[in-house]
Structure 1
Amino acid sequence: MDWRTAEMRITILTVPECPNVPVVRERITTVLGGRSAEVELVEVREAAEAARWGMTGSPTVLLDGIDPFAMAGAPASVSCRLYRDADGHAEGAPSIQALREVLSGTRPALAAADGQDCCEADLLDPIGRAGRGRRAPAERGLRVVHQAVLRHFATHGTAPEAGALEAVAARAGRTATDVLAELDREDFLILDAAGRIRAAYPFSAVETPHRVRLASGTQVWSMCAVDALGISAMLGGQDVRVSSSDPVSGEPVTVTFTGGAAVWEPADAVVFVGRREGSGPAVAVCCDALNFFTSRTSAEQWQCGHPEISGQVVSQGRAVQIGEQTFRTLLQED
């Protein structure tokens, strides 16, 4: 159908206070170009209501009751909805070009992507160095220096100075400065402008939202939620307590590992696993997009407010599994 030949009814389905609604309304106005159309805004609060409307994320645009951006198999949802353009760029609203093509009937609209559509492997690439893993290679003194840095964090809760690593680096015939620079280039750790260690995943030398208390009493910051969940396994199953907070409500979230078993408070807490587009070190691409939330609803609300981040909510068990798989082997002996 060519939508230019008749007055149409455009319905925007949205959760309350969705930040992407003003964007989609502005783009619809631009595409209409003064043509007559009835545009209504419908707030949807419950999953059952979303199912009745055929809403698969906020915002969902209906043309005379039909979702032209519908993707086969997408479930009803009150979570954030993402749309990808022809270049794969994700936004929280259909592009002007996509809306124009839909309204003119020149081609099918761009398929939408929401949290259910994200490829988990792509999301986890920055965490696991695109499949290369976080255990540094044994060559050129990388592993022994890396492990010395991690053990220092675990013992003292702080990063070591380069001078404390010279003897370890010398075994490979290198200086600590050279080895640390290579570890930084390969994203095993992060150096600041002065060459000091700012982070060595999973640990951070600067304050983050995630505090971890080890069985020894040592307390250390972790880079993200997934990193925090991997520390117990990395330290051989040591009992640890992770303390964080929900970025939306500010309410506390704790995970206590005792004898390898994790207890979460609150019981409905989840982890959001996300990333920004592009390449670069994990600290830039995904660390601040990996957070604890008190509930799935809270995580989905946060996602709606961050359309630049692709991601999905994962269960407690899956979040722990990702952390363990990522960090378990880092301190293993050769």
Structure 2
Amino acid sequence: MSANSCPLEERMLELTMLTVPDCPNEPVLRERLTQALADQPAVTVNLRVIEGEADAARYGMHGSPTLLINGVDPFAAPGTPSSVSCRLYRDESGPTGGAPSVAALRAALQQTVEHPVPSEPATAVGRAGLGRLAPVEGGLRAVHQRVLRAFAETGKAPSKDELDEAAAPFETSSQQVLAQLHAADFLRLDTFGAISAAYPFSPTPTPHLVQITDGPQVFSMCAIDALGIAAMLGKDVTISSAEPGTGNPITVTVPADTSASRVLWNPATTVVFYGRQSTCGTCPPEASADATVPSIAADICCDYINFFTDQDNALAWAQTHPGVTGQVLSQQEAWGIGVHIFGPLLRPHF
């Protein structure tokens, strides 16, 4: 890997290292990145030296050194300010020094290769295209995964004690972590601080009831969320939903093995309408005031991503809702988006 760039023929990954001049941890990151890339496809690695705070803000540097994978810093907590200061990377076992561990780098690279930034239809439900895998730093992923596992195992949110236990190794409180997860739309909190959405799970009834094999019944926030639960948990699930407007029953059985050919749709003509409000006029004024992403899925799209018995019924429903924009997704498209967004969420963190 050269000091400036290493352009190769295939560009599945593009890596950019951002450092201040003479950063002592730049060689550490370079060495660990070389190890992490040993079995990866051809990539482009660029080195950009950041001279001041203005450049740090422009290029997305959150301390030196920063690694961008396809333009995204996978190790930065939501809302982390730009900075030219020395950066300390931490994992669940404590400080790792001035660069991510080799294991953490490999996990971040694998995540990008297997789950690239989604196409336009997935942007709203997938945090404006940023994905729903919370960063490891600051206990965000540990607390987020504890929330998801609680819903998967019990059908309800975890207790404060459980969340505090997840946050403790990171020397922070669960309340602080939840506030960050809320601001970045990894989950939603109500005005009392209780979890009101934990994508893909809803703590309150929705039209989408999901039976987890050897687990509880849970509600999902929308049709896409329901379709992603099997891949996230590694368990078969059965989705029972109802067509908006007609109430016609729809059942989808999704296997854990992420094979589109084995998903069973009843009726066989079922589609998903992927909609969103063209404006958020029905949302409370404060709904997104503290958000670090452009839009909040629970506010603008969750109510409008639904199963329909066929394309004609989906289009007919859309015509009667002029305030909703969207498109009809095929079965494979809808399932693929669900797997893409939610499949990685319970991946072990390092």
Normalised by the length of structure 2, the TM-score is: 0.59
Residue number in structure 2 paired with 1:254: 251
* Aligned partners of 2:273 and 2:329 also within 8 Å: yes
- Tell me whether 1:281 sits opposite 2:282 in the alignment: no
Residue number in structure 2 paired with 1:332: 347
* Aligned partners of 1:248 and 1:302 also within 8 Å: yes
Cα offsets for 1:267-321 (capped at 9, x unmatched)? 1110001112355310001101100001111101110011111111011111100
The one-letter code of the counterpart of 2:130 is R
Cα offsets for 1:143-177 (capped at 9, x unmatched)? 00000000000000011133321111111111111
* Aligned partners of 1:215 and 1:239 also within 8 Å: yes
Distance, in Å, in 1 between the alignment partners of 2:256 and 2:198 is 25
Residue number in structure 2 paired with 1:83: none
The number of aligned residues is: 214
The one-letter code of the counterpart of 2:270 is A
The one-letter code of the counterpart of 2:214 is S
Moved over 6 A (4+): none
The one-letter code of the counterpart of 1:285 is I
Corresponding residue SS for 1:171: helix
The one-letter code of the counterpart of 1:247 is P
Distance, in Å, in 1 between the alignment partners of 2:253 and 2:185 is 28
Distance, in Å, in 1 between the alignment partners of 2:122 and 2:319 is 20
The one-letter code of the counterpart of 1:295 is D
Cα offsets for 1:100-145 (capped at 9, x unmatched)? xxxxxxxxxxxxxxxxxxxx94442211112211000011100000
The one-letter code of the counterpart of 2:273 is F
Residue number in structure 1 paired with 2:175: 177
Query: Equivalences for 1:138-287 in 2 at 5 Å?
Result: 138-236=136-234, 238-258=235-255, 260=257, 261-277=262-278, 279-287=294-302
Distance, in Å, in 1 between the alignment partners of 2:246 and 2:264 is 21
Distance, in Å, in 2 between the alignment partners of 1:258 and 1:332 is 18
The one-letter code of the counterpart of 1:256 is T
The Cα shift of 1:259 comes to: 5.3
The one-letter code of the counterpart of 2:264 is V
Residue number in structure 1 paired with 2:338: 323
Distance, in Å, in 1 between the alignment partners of 2:224 and 2:253 is 14
Corresponding residue SS for 1:274: strand
Residue of 290, 305, 318 corresponding to 2:305: 290
**Any gaps of 5 or more consecutive residues in structure 2?**
1-117, 280-293
RMSD value over aligned CA atoms?
Answer: 1.4
Inter-CA distance 141–217: structure 2 relative to 1 (3 Å threshold): closer
